[in-house]
Amino acid sequence: MFFVEKNEVVLAPREMDMLCFFASHPNQVLSRQQLLDKVWGYDFDGDPRTIDVHIKRVRDKLRTHGAEWSVTTIRGVGYRFEEMKNV
């Protein structure tokens, strides 16, 4: 759990682990494999698309609470955690 604009955001343990890993690597593009290795562990034997499901859930929760940062898809490469630009 963490807070965005004084609003409590509840994340599942894996979602929180992934968000913390992203936050510790801001603006760096991370591949699915990097995320699996660092968040799920090298012995993970599931579908790599599980990353996509977790990313969607985290994005939805961040958007719902008005977070000023997001996880952006870098097509064909992976994902990047970045601050949203105000337009």
Q: What is the pLDDT of residue 61?
A: 84
Long-range pairs of 69-77 with CB within 8 A, sequence gap ≥ 24? 71/22, 74/29, 77/29, 77/31
3-state secondary structure of 30: strand
Average pLDDT (22-48) is: 90
Domain harbouring 58, CATH code? 1.10.10.10
Query: What is the rounded average pLDDT of the residues 28-54?
Result: 90
Domain coverage including residue 62: 2-69
Distance CA 5, CA 17 (A): 21
Q: How many structural domains is the chain composed of?
A: 1
pTM of the predicted structure, to 2 decimals: 0.80
Q: What does the angle CA 26 – CA 30 – CA 34 come to, to the nearest 5 degrees?
A: 125
Residue 59 inside a domain? The answer is yes
CA nearest neighbour of 12 among 55, 49, 47, 43: 55
